[in-house]
Chain A
Amino acid sequence: MTDVAMRERTPPPATLDRPLDYLHDAHTLRSWLFTIDHKRIGILYLIAITAFFIIGAVAAGLVRLALVVPDGQIFTNDTYNKLFTIHGVVMVWFFLIPSIPATFGNFLLPLMIGAKDLAFPRLNLLSWYVFMTGAVFTLATVVIGGVDTGWTFYAPLSTTFSNTWVVPALIGVIVVGFSSILTGLNFVVTVHTMRAPGMHWFRMPIFVWTMYATSLIFLLATPVITMALILLVMERAFGIGVFDPALGGDPVLFEHLFWFYSHPAVYIMVLPGMGVISEIIPAFAQKKIFGYKFICYATIGLASITFFVWGHHMFVNGQSEYASLAFSFLSFAVAVPSAVKVYNWTATIHKGDIHLDTPMLYAMGYIGLFVLGGLTGLFLATLAIDEHIHDTYFVVAHFHYIMVGGTMLAFLGGLHFWWPKFTGRMYPEVWGRISALLIFLGFNVTFFPQFILGYLGMPRRYHVYPHEFQLLNILSSAGSTILAVGYIFPMIYLLWSLWFGKRAPSDPWNAKGLEWTTSSPPPKHNFIVPPIVDFEPYDYPVKAGESV
């Protein structure tokens, strides 16, 4: 194609060997809202979670604004509590958990294993509607007055003492859980039954492995939180005593049930990010991924160990010290498969033909921040140290390094990496790199001071705090403005690229994998000729003149 044709705003007419792509196949709103095409459903999720991300991010911005002054003069305590609660609830349940699985997973899983669609396309659309129904409930609480329990919903604060709209928020989260379960079921069945001829287990891309492991966690852990939250609703709405001691219940029981899901949920957020990074790094180092099978085993290892570490959230609630010792040991064990992955990525980069395009910048940032987040997790898993930094800003910094430094960077890296495949357009590379660097810088300025704040003894969820903590809080808030700019840029230039971006070839990165063998964007049924897999995964480098 000539350069002029690459910038053409309408796609060239369809031919027999090049049918209309999934975006141009039909144009009506109905064709989107009733689609059963996994790619369109992925896009529906992408639009929805971007909207939720904006809500969560605005709440975070207001929290940082409030903390510029130590006396809590900007908002009332109640408003502040509602802001951090909505930030936590929206970011965890409406952004991070569905982020990579429901968008990239939906779009890419069938493409990567050479399938036409997911195993249950209608169930997939239902998952999106269930997700949106839950979201409406939770967002309605924001409109009618908010909820102030924190995203952890600890009893008896949530069941007896809070005067806010806890029940609708809980119903929203319960409903969203069913969406996760349905998506997980769909992915597991798809991976088992829909792989193309020759695509055996150890030829699957790591991203597919992580989607599979994540889906197992969806299936095994989500029902526990669903049940626990239903019990909360029962206690709050009908006075059935389960958690409130005044009604004969036990508040620690809720902590157990909550963290039995919510710790594995960390891996629902982390594993998909690891999958994305494992795709980006070999492509931009043009090198076969180091220790492919070890990464697969480490993925399953993480998904298994994560079910046995929930007690590390309860080291200071009077839990037996023998239980705490076991949970501490198991939490340390998590570091082993995590480190395996990090070493594999760095060994892949080592002596590679490195291209520092936007996705690779995000991947590099991810490795550094994930290591910092992971190592500070070991601080928290150490009983004697946790005694001091539990429930302080140290914890806040630690999990933001994992959730934002890890998952969010992987999400943005993946979004840039597959943007040409999703939309058929290239994003402006220079702006991409500037934003990636801004996000890295802004993130560290925002969250690194919080490690220090926590170690100095500032508890989390504090609106009013002693004056000696003000300087570090101002630094953190200043960093969040840089971070905000880093988020706003991609929203603008990615939208711009939809109409004005250069038209993308099938494989703009010289990347390997079945998704790059079909056109960008792919046709409605993904592949014109059903693929047969007779090659090993990550068979880099791409040689000169080789058609991938």
Chain B
Amino acid sequence: MISQDVIHALYIPALRIQMDTIPGRYTEMWFKADKAGSFHLFCSEYCGTDHSEMDGTLTIMQPADYQTWLTHAASSQTLVSAGETVFQSYGCSACHRANSTVKAPSLAGLYGKPVPLEGGGTVIADDSYIRDKILNPDAQKIAGYKQTMPSYEGKIPEDDLIRLVAYIKASKDSAHD
């Protein structure tokens, strides 16, 4: 999770969990849904004028109900398919697709793997790493590649970043499929 402006927090009292969402970095929260129903969710970190009206509902459905809802009400795109569109529109695919003429690392199967760094050592490619690499590619240079990618700081809004990360996360290494 991330925030586009001030610090907020996602709080779901029925599940007894909450986590801050902070601008500039990802935080994580997970739960296992074992009961269907609708539950309050609140912003629990004071965020300004309409803090107390920043609320919503968590809906947990049985798989069959969810399928019905998907076909009837949901938007046609998932986060991953939206991410693919974004991946094209910002021109990421020009360098990062397979068979690209520019020597850029392929992103297929990247997620969760260790990435060797130029100065030695490795870093695990998690959500935060992917986001940081898009916004500030100079920070952690990858071994074996010339750093040519420009920074996208301020050029890609947070919602598109989330779509991009989801897309890259879902990109499987085709060689192993």
**Could you tell me if A461 and B22 are in contact, using CB atoms closer than 8 angstroms?**
no
A316, B11: Cα distance in complex, Å: 10
CB-contact partner of A388 in B7, B18, B47, under 8 A: B18
A246 at interface, CB cutoff 8 A = yes
Chain B residue contacts of A390, Cβ below 8 A: 18, 44
Chain A residue contacts of B7, Cβ below 8 A: 154, 156-157, 251, 317
CB-nearest residue of chain B to A250: B24
Chain B residue contacts of A162, Cβ below 8 A: 48
Interface of A is mostly: loop
**Could you tell me if A391 and B14 are in contact, using CB atoms closer than 8 angstroms?**
no
A541 at interface, CB cutoff 8 A = no
User: Which among B28, B44, B46 has the highest number of chain A CB atoms within 10 Å?
Assistant: B46
With A72-B52, A251-B23, A317-B27 in contact, do A457 and B14 touch (Cβ < 8 Å)?
A: yes
Chain A residue contacts of B47, Cβ below 8 A: 157
A466 at interface, CB cutoff 8 A = yes
Additional A-B contacts beyond A388-B18, A462-B52, A463-B52 (17; CB < 8 A): A77-B50, A77-B51, A77-B53, A78-B49, A154-B7, A154-B46, A157-B48, A244-B23, A317-B7, A390-B18, A390-B44, A391-B18, A391-B44, A392-B13, A457-B42, A464-B52, A464-B53
- A residues touching B (Cβ–Cβ < 8 Å)? 72, 77-78, 81, 148, 150, 152, 154, 156-157, 160-162, 244-246, 250-252, 316-318, 387-388, 390-392, 456-457, 459-466
User: Which among A160, A318, A392 has the highest number of chain B CB atoms within 10 Å?
Assistant: A318
A463, B5: Cα distance in complex, Å: 21
**Could you tell me if B51 and A81 are in contact, using CB atoms closer than 8 angstroms?**
yes
**Could you tell me if B22 and A462 are in contact, using CB atoms closer than 8 angstroms?**
no
A463, B22: Cα distance in complex, Å: 23
**Could you tell me if B9 and A391 are in contact, using CB atoms closer than 8 angstroms?**
yes
**Could you tell me if B49 and A387 are in contact, using CB atoms closer than 8 angstroms?**
no
CB-contact partner of B24 in A78, A152, A251, A463, under 8 A: A251
**Could you tell me if A457 and B51 are in contact, using CB atoms closer than 8 angstroms?**
no
Q: Which of B11-34 contact A (CB under 8 A)?
A: 11, 13-14, 16-20, 22-28
Chain B residue contacts of A465, Cβ below 8 A: 52
A240, B58: Cα distance in complex, Å: 39
**Could you tell me if A459 and B44 are in contact, using CB atoms closer than 8 angstroms?**
yes
Chain A residue contacts of B45, Cβ below 8 A: 154, 391
B43 at interface, CB cutoff 8 A = yes
CB-nearest residue of chain B to A385: B16
B40 at interface, CB cutoff 8 A = yes
The 8 closest A-B pairs by CB, nearest first: A457-B13, A245-B24, A388-B16, A318-B27, A462-B52, A459-B44, A157-B6, A317-B20
CB-contact partner of A150 in B9, B14, B40, B46, under 8 A: B46
7 of the cross-chain contacts (CB-CB < 8 Å) are: A250-B24, A316-B18, A387-B16, A387-B18, A459-B11, A463-B52, A465-B52
Chain B residue contacts of A148, Cβ below 8 A: 48-49
Taking the closest CB of chain B, its distance from the CB of A383, in whole angstroms, is 12
A251, B14: Cα distance in complex, Å: 28
Taking the closest CB of chain B, its distance from the CB of A150, in whole angstroms, is 5
**Could you tell me if B6 and A161 are in contact, using CB atoms closer than 8 angstroms?**
yes
With A245-B23, A316-B20, A392-B44 in contact, do A156 and B5 touch (Cβ < 8 Å)?
A: yes
CB-nearest residue of chain B to A152: B46
CB-nearest residue of chain B to A244: B23
Taking the closest CB of chain A, its distance from the CB of B11, in whole angstroms, is 6
CB-contact partner of B13 in A154, A250, A316, A456, under 8 A: A456
A394, B6: Cα distance in complex, Å: 24
Taking the closest CB of chain A, its distance from the CB of B8, in whole angstroms, is 10
CB-contact partner of A81 in B40, B42, B44, B49, under 8 A: B49
CB-contact partner of B52 in A161, A251, A461, under 8 A: A461
**Could you tell me if B20 and A318 are in contact, using CB atoms closer than 8 angstroms?**
yes
Chain B residue contacts of A252, Cβ below 8 A: 22, 25
A390, B16: Cα distance in complex, Å: 10
CB-contact partner of A461 in B18, B20, B26, B46, under 8 A: B46
**Could you tell me if A391 and B51 are in contact, using CB atoms closer than 8 angstroms?**
no
User: Which among B5, B14, B18, B19 has the highest number of chain A CB atoms within 10 Å?
Assistant: B18
User: Which among B7, B26, B47 has the highest number of chain A CB atoms within 10 Å?
Assistant: B7
A317, B28: Cα distance in complex, Å: 10
A154, B7: Cα distance in complex, Å: 8
**Could you tell me if B42 and A459 are in contact, using CB atoms closer than 8 angstroms?**
yes
**Could you tell me if A388 and B17 are in contact, using CB atoms closer than 8 angstroms?**
yes
Chain B residue contacts of A161, Cβ below 8 A: 5-6, 48
**Could you tell me if A156 and B48 are in contact, using CB atoms closer than 8 angstroms?**
no
Taking the closest CB of chain B, its distance from the CB of A388, in whole angstroms, is 4
CB-nearest residue of chain A to B16: A388
A464, B7: Cα distance in complex, Å: 19
A316, B21: Cα distance in complex, Å: 9
**Could you tell me if B17 and A387 are in contact, using CB atoms closer than 8 angstroms?**
yes
**Could you tell me if A316 and B9 are in contact, using CB atoms closer than 8 angstroms?**
yes
Q: Bits for B32-68, please: 1 = Cβ < 8 Å to A, else 0.
A: 0000000010111111111111000000000000000
Chain A residue contacts of B20, Cβ below 8 A: 316-318
Chain A residue contacts of B27, Cβ below 8 A: 317-318
With A150-B46, A388-B17 in contact, do A461 and B9 touch (Cβ < 8 Å)?
A: no
Taking the closest CB of chain A, its distance from the CB of B127, in whole angstroms, is 12
Chain A residue contacts of B46, Cβ below 8 A: 150, 152, 154, 157, 460-461
Taking the closest CB of chain A, its distance from the CB of B21, in whole angstroms, is 9
A81, B26: Cα distance in complex, Å: 28
Chain B residue contacts of A318, Cβ below 8 A: 19-20, 22, 25-28
Taking the closest CB of chain B, its distance from the CB of A451, in whole angstroms, is 14
CB-nearest residue of chain A to B11: A459
A465, B26: Cα distance in complex, Å: 28
Chain A residue contacts of B14, Cβ below 8 A: 457
CB-contact partner of A77 in B16, B26, B49, under 8 A: B49
Chain B residue contacts of A152, Cβ below 8 A: 46
Taking the closest CB of chain B, its distance from the CB of A158, in whole angstroms, is 9
A252, B7: Cα distance in complex, Å: 9
CB-nearest residue of chain A to B25: A318
Taking the closest CB of chain B, its distance from the CB of A173, in whole angstroms, is 18
Chain A residue contacts of B9, Cβ below 8 A: 316, 391
Taking the closest CB of chain A, its distance from the CB of B128, in whole angstroms, is 10
Chain A residue contacts of B52, Cβ below 8 A: 72, 77, 459, 461-465
CB-nearest residue of chain A to B135: A245
Taking the closest CB of chain B, its distance from the CB of A20, in whole angstroms, is 53
With A157-B46, A391-B9, A457-B42 in contact, do A316 and B19 touch (Cβ < 8 Å)?
A: yes
Taking the closest CB of chain B, its distance from the CB of A122, in whole angstroms, is 42
